[in-house]
Amino acid sequence: MKNIIIDINVLMDFVFQRSGHESAALILKLCYEKKVRGIVCAHEITTLAYFLTKQMKDKYKIKKTLSDFLDMFEVIEAGTEILRQALFSPISDYEDAVIEASAKTRKVDYIVTRNLNDFKHSSVKALTPEKMLDLLRDYLPSA
C-alpha cells in the first residue's frame, strides 16, 4: 500500500471545489477506501479549520468536515524532532519543510501537492494529484 501525504492545497481544492477538485476528490476517495494510506500533518488540520471558519458560518459543517478528515487520514504530530529537521531542510518554506520532514519520518512514498516548486528540493518525491492518480490507476474504477 502506498503511503501519501496530502498537502493542504489539495484538501482545499476538494473542500472549496477549486480548480482540480475532481482529482483531489479521487485521491481522497482512495484514502477513504483505504486503498492508499492518506496522511496529513496536524498543522494542516488547524490551518484548514481557519479557512473553513472564514468561508463557512455553519459550525456543525466545519466540525463535520474536520471530523471526517480525522477519520480518513493518519495525522502526524510535528514534535521537536520533526520541527528541528525542518529547520535544516533545503526547502525554504518552513511549513513545507515540516511536511517533508514528516514524510521522511513516516517513510512516505509521495507528497501530493499542487505546488511542485515548493518541494523541488524535497527528498520525498512530490506529485500533483493527477500524476498520483496515474500511478494509482489500478485502484480507480474503469471509465
**pLDDT tens track for 82-135:** 999 999 999 999 999 999 999 999 999 999 999 999 999 999 999 999 999 999
107 within a domain of the structure (yes/no): yes
Strands 126-127 and 37-41: unpaired
Residue 143 maps to a domain:
no
Inter-residue contact 59 to 49 (CB < 8 Å) = no
Q: Number of structural domains, the chain?
A: 1
Q: Are 109 and 131 in contact (CB under 8 A)?
A: no
| CATH number of the domain where residue 96 is located | 3.40.50.1010
122 found inside a domain: yes
Read off the pLDDT of residues 30-70 as tens digits, 9 standing for 90 and up.
999 999 999 999 999 999 999 999 988 889 999 999 999 99
Please report whether residue 75 resides in a domain: yes
3-state DSSP assignment of residue 76: strand
Q: Is residue 15 part of a domain?
A: yes
The predicted structure's pLDDT at residue 57: 82
pLDDT computed for residue 20 by the predictor = 85
Residue 142's pLDDT is 63
Asked if the structure places residue 114 within a domain, the reply is yes
**What residues make up the domain containing 92?**
3-137
Mean of pLDDT values over 1-23: 94
Q: Does any domain span residue 142?
A: no
In a domain, 79, yes or no: yes
For residue 105 the three cell numbers come to: 519520518
Amino acid at 100: E
